[in-house]
Amino acid sequence: MIPFKLNDKNVEVDVQPDMPLLWVLRDLMGLTGTKYGCGMAQCGACTVHLDGTAVRSCTLPVSAVQGKSVTTIEGLSDDGDHPLQIAWAEHKVPQCGYCQCGQIMSAAALLSSNPKPDDTAIDNAMQGNICRCGTYPRIKAAIKSVAAKKVGGAV
């Protein structure tokens, strides 16, 4: 049994310890908001937070989250009202949407460590997340809009 905290709830899973967290979340826990895109930490579709830091769940053995806290897109906010989710809707970011949970999770980790990232900081934090549909300009604009509000103290 591997115990960890998932979206603020204590859970335990009985699986092979080398099974990547991605498949534990998707196939065993039914949390399919975390996506599979490459399985080798190349695309960011599977991004979740581990103790608040963005990690690629496709290459993270579930044994490595023992006793730690995992947040997925389903646990990021109560009803899609995280400031980034609101900004994503306002900027009409998604096309197919498949990459977007991973994008939002990467962006959320960025803003919690750096509330006012410049272009380079955004590029650095987001370069592990591929969007094949091509929503990068809007992703950037959405992140910046949240960062701008943060400075004003509105969020």
| Nearest distance, CB of residue 154 and ligand FES, angstroms | 27
Q: In whole angstroms, what separates CA 114 from the centre of its chain?
A: 16
Lateral strand order in the sheet of 2-6: 9-13, 2-6, 69-71, 47-50, 53-56
Angle at 40 between CA 38 and CA 46, to 5 degrees: 60
Q: Phi, psi (5° rounding) for residue 94?
A: -65, 145
Please list every residue from 89 through 108 that binds other proteins, using CB under 8 A. 89, 92, 94-101, 104
Q: Is 95 in the site for ligand FES (CB under 6 A)?
A: yes
Q: Phi, psi (5° rounding) for residue 57?
A: -75, -15
Q: Which two tokens stand for residue 42?
A: 């190349």
Q: Which of 85, 108, 109, 146 binds other proteins (CB under 8 A)?
A: 85
Q: Is 136 in the site for other proteins (CB under 8 A)?
A: yes
Please list every residue from 9 through 28 that binds other proteins, using CB under 8 A. 16, 19-20, 23, 26-28
Please list every residue from 98 through 117 that binds ligand FES, using CB under 6 A. 98-100
Applying CB under 6 A, the residues found at the interface with ligand FES are 36-39, 41-46, 56, 58, 94-100, 131-133, 135
